Amino acid sequence: MAIWNPWRGCHRQSEGCRYCYIHKGDARKGIDTDQIVRTEKFYAPVEKKTSGDYKIKPGQTVYVCFSSDFLLEDADEWRGECWDMIRERQDLHFLFLTKRIDRFMQCIPKDWGDGYENVTVGCTIENQEMADARLAVFSELPIKHRNIICQPLIGAIELEQHLKGVELVVAGGESDKNARPLDYEWVLSLREQCIRTGTHFEFRQCGTYFIKDGKQYKLAVKDLGSQARKAGINV
């Protein structure tokens, strides 16, 4: 696994961005997240060692733009070079998540066709409103590998009609002292929808405030992932 952040910074897009970890981390360091800048790692996928080998070893999944959104408007002039690198590194699999799936068709390269085999696109949704708006678009797009990321999940979501061709649905709660609670029933409902459609499902993290059987619990950040794994409900 490798991480590639060609640029950093982002603008809040919807309710799911309220406690964005990038904005929170930057605020602590006095960085303005709304300033979008290219990083010194922009060319990381094609950087080579003196031996001539790529620094990022073949066969890995590369997580792209985890300090931004790959489809951010501010990065339109830079994305073309990123596609060139993705095309060059057929030996890697690239994955990016976006809350801007409505911009997808204007962001893809000319030779995209019905999708690059080495790219997975994750459409992020947080509630029914965003599911309705974004998944209606997402379902129609030419993408070879697609995931749906329901994190932070802040309400129940019906998305079964959009699961055709989806490889994985991820559910997770919000992490913040003011986080909106995650109701376990919402997670189980998503899981049922995935089971009915033969879609992989992963419960990735509880929320700081977690409701189970009508009772609300407060969890430490360090326990959010492990508590979700303990539920043992991935399929």
Q: Give the three-state DSSP class for 3.
A: strand
Shortest approach of ligand SF4 to residue 220 CB, angstroms?
A: 22
CB of 13 to ligand SF4, least distance (A): 5
For position 69 contacting ligand SF4 by CB under 6 A, the verdict is yes
**Cβ distance to ligand SF4 smaller for residue 133 or 188:** 133
Tell me if 123 contacts ligand SF4 by CB under 6 A.
no
User: Minimum distance from CB of 126 to ligand SF4 (Å)?
Assistant: 9
Residues 2, 3, 17, 141: which binds ligand SF4 (CB under 6 A)?
17
Single-letter code of the amino acid located at 50: T
3-class secondary structure, 224: helix
Closer residue to ligand SF4 in complex, CB, 69/183: 69
Terminal CA-CA length for the chain: 22
10 binds ligand SF4 (CB under 6 A): yes
Positive or negative, the Cα torsion across 110, 115, 118, 123? positive
Q: Residue 205 to residues 38, 105, 199, 226: CA-CA distances in angstroms?
A: 30, 31, 19, 7
Stretches 8-16, 75-83, 136-144, 183-191: which one binds ligand SF4 (CB under 6 A)?
8-16
Would you count residue 12 as binding ligand SF4 (CB under 6 A)?
yes
Cβ contacts of residue 25 below 8 Å, gap of 6+? Answer: none
User: Sheet of 61-64: strands edge to edge?
Assistant: 2-4, 61-64, 93-98, 119-124, 145-150, 166-172, 200-205
Q: Select 79 or 99, whichever has its Cβ closest to ligand SF4.
A: 99
Report the interface residues with ligand SF4, using CB under 6 A: 10, 12-13, 17, 20, 22, 68-69, 99
